[in-house]
Amino acid sequence: MNQKISFLSQSQTPLLTALLKLSLQKDAAFYAPGHKKGGVIEPQLEHLFGKKVFCSDLPELPELDNLFAPQDAILKAQDLASQCFGADRTWFLINGSTCGIISAIVATCGAGDKIILPRNIHQSAIAGLIISGAIPVFVNPEHDNIRNITYNITPQALKKTLNQYPETKAVMVLHPSYQGVCGDLRAISEITNQHNIPLLVDEAHGGHFAFHEQLPPSALSLGADLTVQSTHKVLGAMTQASMLHLRGTRINPQRISKALQIMQSTSPSYILLASLDAARKQMALQGEQFMEKALELADLARENIANIPKLSVLEFSPKPGFKHLDKTRLTVDIRELGITGYEADEILHQQLGVTCELPLLYHLTFIITFGNNQQDIEKLIQGFVTLCSTTNQNKQSSSPATITPSTPKLQLSPREAYFAATETIPLSEASDRISGELICPYPPGIPVLMPGEVITSEAIDYLQKVLNSGGIITGCSDETLTNISVIEL
């Protein structure tokens, strides 16, 4: 955590305090929203949420400041957040990290500009390419063929790509991956500094890194110019509440503000904004203590699950693309059970009361935070014990074969393909055609095909494998994946 933080100032919650005061104020409300502080609420909704939350569902009243031109409560709350997370300036996001990722690309790249990204980037970055008109230069991240887990791009791969494309305007990387794997971000930042181009970081899953020495270093501490964090994913903010942090002078902050004006709602939820203010205070004052608890719980889960026969747990193992591991992210390999991760997730969730964050073909990933307790961990461990005993008795099939999706060739820019005329054809006839859709298993939201890419037989096989195994695929116009949208010839 930034050592310059004043704990006296960090104990304040300017936005949360202002919202609380106004929620208690009795006035004749002739402003939106229509429920008028919960005056008339559908009974089931009121029973679920309680009436108090509607008293806090307020619009941009003068006392609450303006998200797009902050001068008072929001400005103070964002300044406190920038101190807490080690940034020069912070913006609150109420459209999730998605709007932050898009805005980062729009603020640094224009139509025709090249931006370097890993191929396992989140689909929000593809939306940023479509909106900005930027041309992606994809770098393949390192892939562990034994574990069948994708890591991160290496400094060497980035350096080679920048030598090929010296006109590149920005670089965007992941830190960490969904499984908590971090690459050598310091070396990557040194390379981007040498080329004097901004380093943008999708740190959606790393908002907690700054608060404990046993966690990977935060992106800002390693030299990132801009980072986007989903404060709701591992900290105490409400779902959809995120932050964008900026450091240094390489990116004009006004361009960030202008981009966010396009990407964020003009009717922001002050409940979400206030939750960011509260989450910041919580971490500033108790972050190390909370993260210590999360790490202890994660160690307990990791040690016990690793000792269960036929299960293995992702551990830190330094290699290209793998510099650090977030120990609060638990990834369990279940392929020796002879079932897919989707099948295992269904059993754990529906029968054993244990719900993971991310099921994939061969793995289950669990997010462990300070919001969990020892009973949760014990239930998780026992869930795997029961799962293993059940599948060993009833499922004797062999382990599923490893399938790694290929990296298709980009034939058109994502923007050109998005606005191009398309036609629908059977998936069986789509090989070598250009995709007109953004298709990806979700979560994690990493596209297997994006608009403008040549459809490969490997990509088709992978998508069908995911679908047949019980996974969810988003973006395709035909949910059964029988047909696919392609660019007209």
What percentage of residues in the chain have a pLDDT greater than 90? 84
- Please, what CATH class does the domain formed by 414-487 belong to? alpha beta
Q: What is the pLDDT of residues 347-356, one digit of tens each?
A: 999 999 999 9
- Compute the C-alpha angle 472/478/480, nearest 5°: 55
Q: What is the pLDDT of residues 147-181, one digit of tens each?
A: 889 999 999 999 999 999 999 999 999 999 999 99
Model confidence band, residue 462 (pLDDT cutoffs 50, 70, 90): confident
pTM score above 0.85? yes
Better pLDDT: 405 or 39 = 39
Domain 286-394 grouped into CATH 3.40.50.720: no
Q: What is the pLDDT of residues 363-381, one digit of tens each?
A: 999 999 999 999 999 999 9
Q: What pLDDT does 400 receive? A: 44
Q: What pLDDT does 394 receive? A: 52
If phi > 0 it is left, if psi is from -120 to 50 it is alpha, else beta; for residue 196 that is: left
Tell me the average pLDDT of the chain. Answer: 93
What percentage of residues in the chain have a pLDDT greater than 70? 95
- Please, what CATH class does the domain formed by 66-283 belong to? alpha beta
Q: What pLDDT does 1 receive? A: 42
* pLDDT score of 4 more than 70: no
Q: What pLDDT does 339 receive? A: 93
Asked, as a colleague might, if the bond just before 444 is cis with ω within 30 of 0, I would say yes
Q: What does the pLDDT average to over 89-94?
A: 98
* pLDDT score of 140 more than 80: yes
Model confidence band, residue 292 (pLDDT cutoffs 50, 70, 90): very high
* pLDDT score of 230 more than 80: yes
Q: What is the pLDDT of residues 29-39, one digit of tens each?
A: 999 999 999 99
**Torsion angle of C-alpha atoms 54, 58, 64, 67, degrees rounded to 10:** 120
Model confidence band, residue 406 (pLDDT cutoffs 50, 70, 90): low
Better pLDDT: 400 or 231 = 231
User: Where along the chain do its domains lie?
Assistant: 66-283, 286-394, 414-487
Strand partners, 174: 202
Burial class (CB in 10 A: 0-12, 13-18, 19+), 316: middle
Model confidence band, residue 396 (pLDDT cutoffs 50, 70, 90): very low
What is the end-to-end Cα distance of the chain in Å, rounded?
55
- Residue 49 belongs to what H/E stretch? helix 43-49
Q: What is the pLDDT of residues 181-196, one digit of tens each?
A: 999 999 999 999 999 9
Residue in the block written with tokens 């020495």: 213
